[in-house]
Structure 1
């Protein structure tokens, strides 16, 4: 890990306030018509997601009514988050349609088991539903894709909370991008859209900061499980940083370099504040990767959704308090960003 004797300070400002990058519009009918067509294309995806969520809500109700009520408080809290998912997914559906106001009667058979009667089955249903949301990422508009990725990440968190730590997979499991093997291949590079390139550069800058941040976290932890976890996260963020660098090279772009100076968002002087820093890093990264989901397409969008989920799970491990939609701003609380050093 990096030593705390390094002169530069950590600037986590690059981890927050990542711009929302949406695909440009080139529709001949004009921006208004293009937006209408995007909304229309999203309708079947929203209907499917709402239907699956209704079935998941029914699973919670069934378990809460049964012997699993020993975990009633925790189940009710998770169910409330699933209800938030439904409300967000139903936004934009035609007024008066059943899916916009009440549970639907025809959920996707692939989303959850036919009947959920135990906490274990409910955990498996959360994980399966999280995977089902990934299947619609490619066809979704940027805004909806970002929402689907956040819902999927939240479902993965719910599954782990309920005791199921299995992988989140689905008809379109998130693959890793396949960058060019070396920067020298840039001569035959295929440029990416400007929005994707900008989002990739922002993501790379965030991972540069995360790598240094975990150097600070590990240096402040005593030998033990938390220091080992910091080392694991440090290596994981190094790998992500290297992946985004290669991907930018393969597109003929010059990857952003690590900043010469960084500033911590708060003093880190002991194991407790180091743990808070790790949680802060991961929560901010969920927003960075949500922006990459919106800006990206195809495999890049899938990979960004997977990274968003991983950041949310790591944030949970470090004790972060997250909203029902990781990576999206919570409507009931403001967020602040650290400022660059002078």
Structure 2
């Protein structure tokens, strides 16, 4: 981390955090229905999507059981259930209605077992793992969606009280032998490296404006995690015969950082932008290596949560632009 004595230099604002590359897809970015697979007939991804819907329905039923319990923490549970409903809708997008099982209906306390925040947190993590199991068998758009929804499940678990003991764990880079040609994953890997360069520099700004307390210790830990991830991408790109993108000579801050609150805001901004980078990387990497980017997406989202960024139902995926969409017919 940049030494505390460099506050004046760092406060000049030489960092620009515009490295996310989400593009402007011609379809709902939260669905896995691409312009090429909206036609009639079944989609090869439908079995995976139906499995994800089934896991989501189990989670919805658990929330309904918890909400039906006297004294339920409705202010906590209702927003998490609402996110889960959005997950289900995104996962079901484009599947013929007749193929999708009906959503669970709210149950009475006598009809279902009681669920506590702790059991719901465990089920959220279980659901996240179920979604990630299919990452290597589906097309890139659905892989991106599954990674995002799994990250949301992990954030839900955190909101329900699960410990964040793995939030700063750097990811292991994918194997060079599994990486496709430069025309596919290399640009996304270079983009991830550029984003990590910016994050390392940005955390220098963050650390320079935090007092010597737990916040600064956390910033130092996250700074080291981003350094490690940056170095991993550099090594991988070099192994692949590519020249790693160097750090920029100067950056511009997205807003003025003058004290601890604005430093925390910058850290949240950094991590949130990185979630978009890693959601894109999930779709760009070869199937066996997608968990690498999914882990990075999760870690950045958890760190953004730590710094006070608002949680969203689809971390790393922007709000869709309303456009006419085709409907597949059964």
With structure 2 as the length reference, what TM-score do the two structures score?
0.83
Partner of 1:12: 17
1:193 Cα deviation (Å)? 4.2
Mapped to 2, the partners of 1:239 and 1:39 lie a distance apart of 43
Q: Who is 1:103 aligned against?
A: 103
Report deviation, 1:141: 0.9
Distance 1:77 1:248 in 2: 41
Residue 326 of structure 1: SS of its match in structure 2? coil
Partner of 2:211: helix, strand, or coil? coil
Quickly say closer, same or farther: Cα 1:223–1:167, change in 2 above 3 A. closer
- In 2: Cα distance, 1:167 partner to 1:147 partner: 24
- How far, CA to CA, are the matches of 1:10 and 1:327 in structure 2? 21
1:235 partnered with 2:231: no
Quick one: distance in 2 between partners of 1:83 and 1:323?
13
Provide structure 2 residue ranges, at least 5 long, that are not aligned to the other structure: 26-33, 106-111, 323-330
Residues 76-117 of structure 1, C-alpha deviations (whole Å, 9 max, x = no match): 010000111001000021133333xx2279xxxxxxxx9562
Deviations 1:131-154 (A, max 9, x none): 111100111111101100000000
Indicate yes or no: 2:273 matched with 1:273: no
Larger relative contact order (Cα-Cα within 8 Å, sequence gap ≥ 6): 2
Q: 1:129 aligns with which of 127, 130, 135?
A: 127
For residue 44 of structure 1, give the secondary structure of its aligned residue in structure 2.
helix
Root mean square deviation, CA, Å = 3.0
Contact 1:202 1:288 in 2 (8 A): yes
Work out the CA distance in 1 between the residues paired with 2:311 and 2:164. 21
- Aligned counterpart for 1:63 among listed residues 58, 63, 66: 66
Q: Which runs of 5+ in 1 are unaligned?
A: 22-30, 106-113, 169-173, 181-187, 334-342
Count residues in correspondence: 301
Q: TM-score, normalised by structure 1?
A: 0.80
Q: Distance in 2 between matches of 1:37 and 1:236?
A: 46
**Is 1:68–1:119's contact at 8 Å kept on the other side of the alignment?**
no
Q: Distance in 1 between matches of 2:104 and 2:285?
A: 31
1:244 paired residue number: 233
CA gap of 1:269–1:42, structure 2 versus 1, over 3 A, is: same
Q: Go from structure 1 to structure 2 and tell me whether the alpha carbon gap of 1:332 and 1:295 turns closer, same or farther (over 3 Å shift).
A: closer
**Aligned match of 2:31:** none
In structure 2, C-alpha distance between the alignment counterparts of 1:190 and 1:205, rounded to whole Å: 19
Query: 1:1-342 alignment to 2 at 5 Å?
Result: 1-2=1-2, 3-4=6-7, 5=9, 9-14=14-19, 16-19=20-23, 40-67=43-70, 69=72, 71-99=73-101, 102-103=102-103, 117-165=115-163, 176-177=172-173, 192-331=181-320
- The residue aligned with 1:28 is none
